[in-house]
């Protein structure tokens, strides 16, 4: 695709017809994982009122979504609204990219049966019910992310997409304090299982305004940092411990810091990185576009052992 040099932005092409040349597909892609505490409403007041930055590759300009370099993914998801929703969409994104094998690890597989995935568009259907996906999808239900995850579920994976954790305020959803704090516990077990299975690449979701991160130069980032030190202190500590566990590991990790992820934002097939000195990225980013970015980076890595903020086109209205 064309590059708009100097703008620090990248376009994600349709996952079904991306035309980047010369990409050979290995045998498998990875794992998508999530877990969900009791259903709570997605806390969006701050998320939908902030601008965000986003990273895709080291290039500047508009970039077409790459062809996958790996075709097997493990998807891990276990969280409340914003990250479980991204986790569910990561399955769809991996199917778009024609991943040959997708293993979904979750403690709540029934969440895929919900019609409302708190995202734009018509009612969703469980991808496991589609005959076209037979042989490509595998479900692994676990009882708790505090238990050891058998490494056999990760064997043969090219990469892992982890959507474990949350940033909802504990004062509002107290049940999350007892059932939803699984970012560190879950990701620690993922790190161990990946090491035992000799899988190196993992893309994990976290938050902006955390752990001293100042990539996104927007007032809302300072507000979020303040919340992580007050009302959302426990969630902030859990996410921080999770990030540090990856940083202390030998894995090729990418920590994704999405901004926005509004429930009614229409996917546009684009995502934008926050680059130093460039325009502040917009906050109206669709969950599906966040998932596409995570899957793209899992299947064809361009960012290594770092964290990045991802969002919508700069100047996008909130």
CA distances from 114 to 119, 173, 248 (A): 12, 21, 37
User: Strands 306-311 and 252-258: what pairing?
Assistant: parallel
Q: How far apart are CA 216 and CA 236, in angstroms?
A: 17
pLDDT tens digits, one per residue of 269-308: 999 988 887 888 887 889 999 999 999 999 999 999 999 9
pLDDT on residue 76: 79
CA distance between the termini of the chain? 28
Helices 233-248, 183-197: axis angle to 10 degrees equals: 20
**Confidence band, pLDDT 50/70/90 cuts, at residue 85:** confident
Tokens of 117: 């995935």
CA angle 184, 190, 196 (to 5 degrees): 140
pLDDT value at position 176?
Answer: 56
Residue in the block written with tokens 């990185």: 273
Residue with tokens 């009122």, as numbered in its chain: 49
Region label for 122, one of left (φ > 0), alpha (ψ between -120 and 50) or beta (otherwise): beta
pLDDT digits (tens, 9 = 90+) for 194-236: 999 999 999 999 988 887 777 877 677 788 878 888 888 888 8
- pTM attached to this predicted model: 0.77
Residues 6+ apart with CB under 8 A from 69: 23, 24, 25, 26, 158, 299, 300, 301
**Is pLDDT above 90 for 8?**
no
Torsion angles phi and psi, residue 49, rounded to 5? -115, 15
Q: What is the CATH number of domain 30-35+71-311?
A: 3.40.50.720
pLDDT for position 47: 27
Helix (H, G, I), strand (E, B) or coil at 234: helix
Length of the chain: 318
Pairwise CA distance, residues 166 & 258, whole Å = 12
CA distance 263 to 247: 31
Cα atoms in the Cβ-side hemisphere of radius 13 Å centred on 75: 31
């Amino acid at each position: 695709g064309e590059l708009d040099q100097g703008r620090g932005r990248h376009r994600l092409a349709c996952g079904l017809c991306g035309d980047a040349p010369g990409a050979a597909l290995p045998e498998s892609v990875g794992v998508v994982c999530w877990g969900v505490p009791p259903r709570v409403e997605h806390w969006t007041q701050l998320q939908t009122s902030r601008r965000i930055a986003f990273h895709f590759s080291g290039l500047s300009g508009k970039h077409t979504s790459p062809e996958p370099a790996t075709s097997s993914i493990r998807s891990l998801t276990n969280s409340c609204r914003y990250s479980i929703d991204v986790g569910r969409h990561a399955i769809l994104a991996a199917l778009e990219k024609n991943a040959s094998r997708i293993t979904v690890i979750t403690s709540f597989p029934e969440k895929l049966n919900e019609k409302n995935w708190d995202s734009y568009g018509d009612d969703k259907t469980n991808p496991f019910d589609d005959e076209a996906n037979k042989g490509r999808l595998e479900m692994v239900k676990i009882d708790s992310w505090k238990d050891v995850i058998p490494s056999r579920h990760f064997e043969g994976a090219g990469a892992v997409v982890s959507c474990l954790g949350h940033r909802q305020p504990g004062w509002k959803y107290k049940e999350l304090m007892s059932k939803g704090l699984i970012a560190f516990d879950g990701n620690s077990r993922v790190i161990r299982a990946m090491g035992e299975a000799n899988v190196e690449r993992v893309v994990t979701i976290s938050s902006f305004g955390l752990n001293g991160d100042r990539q996104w130069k927007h007032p809302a980032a300072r507000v979020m940092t303040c919340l992580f030190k007050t009302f959302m202190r426990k969630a902030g500590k859990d996410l921080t411990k999770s990030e540090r566990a990856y940083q202390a590991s030998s894995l090729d990790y990418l920590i994704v810091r999405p901004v926005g992820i509004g429930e009614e934002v229409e996917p546009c097939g684009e995502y934008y990185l926050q680059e130093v000195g460039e325009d502040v990225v917009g906050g109206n980013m669709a969950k599906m576009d966040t998932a596409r970015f995570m899957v793209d980076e899992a299947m064809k890595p361009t960012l290594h052992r770092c964290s990045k903020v991802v969002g919508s086109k700069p100047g996008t209205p909130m």
